[in-house]
Amino acid sequence: MTGWQMLLYKEVLRFWKVSFQTVAAPVLTAVLYLMIFGHVLEDHVKVYDSISYTAFLVPGLVMMSILQNAFANSSSSIIQSKIMGNMVFLLLTPLSHWHWFVAYVGSSIARGLVVGGGVFLVTAWFTHLSFVAPWWILVFAILGAALLGTLGLIAGLWAEKFDQLAAFQNFIIMPMTFLSGVFYSIGSLPEFWQRMSHLNPFFYMIDGFRHGFFGVSDASPWLSLGVVGLALAVSSALAIYLLRIGYKIRS
């Protein structure tokens, strides 16, 4: 293996060694969400004409799991290495900032897709799902995991202790995820909140992902692709710059 491949392998192995915590636990959480919301709202909420609420909910839960776990993977790895003091062993290697970026974001994509796949396999038993445009499903799953893995990398570099990282996740990532249409269609919101939802890039990730299953969505999948692609480009540029200057890891 080359250096970046070894770092990628190490990061994938890091979360896989504790898969009961990093994979099984998020799958169980998503199933509980489905059982509670699906059971209570199935007969009371109608999102699209021919789609049940449970079927509508499953892709949202899958994508939410992908996003949250991709963020957790890179952010927790960086902050743990900084606090435990083993970051120095990576700094001694000839790995470039590009190698770091590819390894950390790549492992985040892997964890996000593994957890998302687990959530889908379990929750798909509760309803019937169609696959109108599977390429959209794959594209938004990968781009969403890459974006949140990049944001996790930025958060891990910025944070100096677990409290700061928890604040970043609890006050930025979690609200943007839950207010992105996971449990509802933004078409059911008042006009003001619909406009506010369109300012949330997480909405476009979930809406585009859901379009791949049903062929209907609240926004054009091409618009969603453009917004997610732009957000990923901007966050990637920032993350690579922070790695290049050694932000909070070389001093």
pLDDT score at 46: 66
DSSP notation for 134-190: HHHHHHHHHHHHHHHHHHHHHHHHH-SSHHHHHHHIIIIIHHHHHTSSSSS-GGGS-
pTM for the structure as a whole: 0.93
Query: Do residues 34 and 69 lie in contact, with contact meaning Cβ atoms separated by under 8 Å?
Result: no
Reading the block at residue 168, the tokens are: 């970043």
Closest CA to 116 of 85, 143, 154, 87: 143
pLDDT computed for residue 12 by the predictor: 96
Provide φ and ψ at 51, rounded to 5°.
-120, 125
Q: Are 124 and 43 in contact (CB under 8 A)?
A: no
CA distances from 71 to 67, 84, 107, 182 (A): 6, 20, 11, 17
Burial 88-107 (b: 16+ CB within 10 A, else e): eebeeeebeeebbbbbbbbb
Residue with tokens 């996003």: 67
pLDDT at 42: 66
Neighbours of 32 (CB within 10 A): 10
Q: What are the tokens at 184?
A: 């509802």
d(CA 177, CA 68): 8
Tens of pLDDT along 105-140? 999 999 999 999 999 999 888 888 888 899 999 999
Which residues of the chain register pLDDT less than 70?
A: 1, 39, 41-46, 49, 251
> Can you tell me the distance from the alpha carbon of 235 to that of 238, in angstroms, rounded to the nearest whole number?
5
Residue 48 DSSP one-character state:
B
pLDDT on residue 43: 64
d(CA 174, CA 202): 10
Q: What is the pLDDT of residue 211?
A: 93
**CA angle (131 as vertex; 49, 189 as ends), nearest 5:** 40
Residue 41 pLDDT: 67
pLDDT value, residue 121: 93
Q: Cα–Cα distances in Å, from 10 out to 208, 226, 236, 241?
A: 32, 32, 21, 23
Rounded to the nearest 10 degrees, how much is the dihedral formed by the CA atoms of 90, 103, 240, 233? -170
